[in-house]
Amino acid sequence: MSIVLWVVQTILALAFVFAGASKLTQRPEQLAQRGMAFVEDFTATQVKLIGTAEVLGAAGLILPWATGIAPVLTPLAAVGLAVLMVGAMVTHWRRKEQQVIGANAILFAAAVFVAIGRFSQL
């Protein structure tokens, strides 16, 4: 089970670090042109905060468990990312962007899987 959790954690962390980094390094106009039209509903600061949460969540998925320093932070990071995905699904639903909700739901499910799996190993 641990190997499966590590694989899911790694894939999830990569997905969130890339998504978060794009929000941190690009202007909202650039993000909207790349298909992230949801940024129109948020200020530039809010988009940067979302990106920061994604990058920190990605780090939290890997570093605490790998180093053994405060490993409880890994499942907590997974819970935080799951909550972030609920917010993303609500935003996309409100904007009638149902085609994106599936990806958010998969990320949500993976984060919940990691949270449950790692909490059970504490």
Domain residue ranges in the chain: 2-120
**Dmax over Cα atoms in the chain, in whole Å?**
43
What is the pTM assigned to this prediction? 0.95
The predicted pLDDT at position 68 comes to 98
DSSP code at position 96: T
- pLDDT per residue as tens digits for the range 40-74: 999 999 999 999 999 999 999 999 999 999 999 99
Question: Burial code of 92-106, b = ≥16 C-beta within 10 A, e = fewer?
Answer: beeeebeebbeebee
d(CA 88, CA 81): 10
Task: Return per-residue pLDDT of the chain as tens, 122 residues.
Answer: 899 999 999 999 999 999 999 999 999 999 999 999 999 999 999 999 999 999 999 999 999 999 999 999 999 999 999 999 999 999 999 999 999 999 999 999 999 999 999 999 99
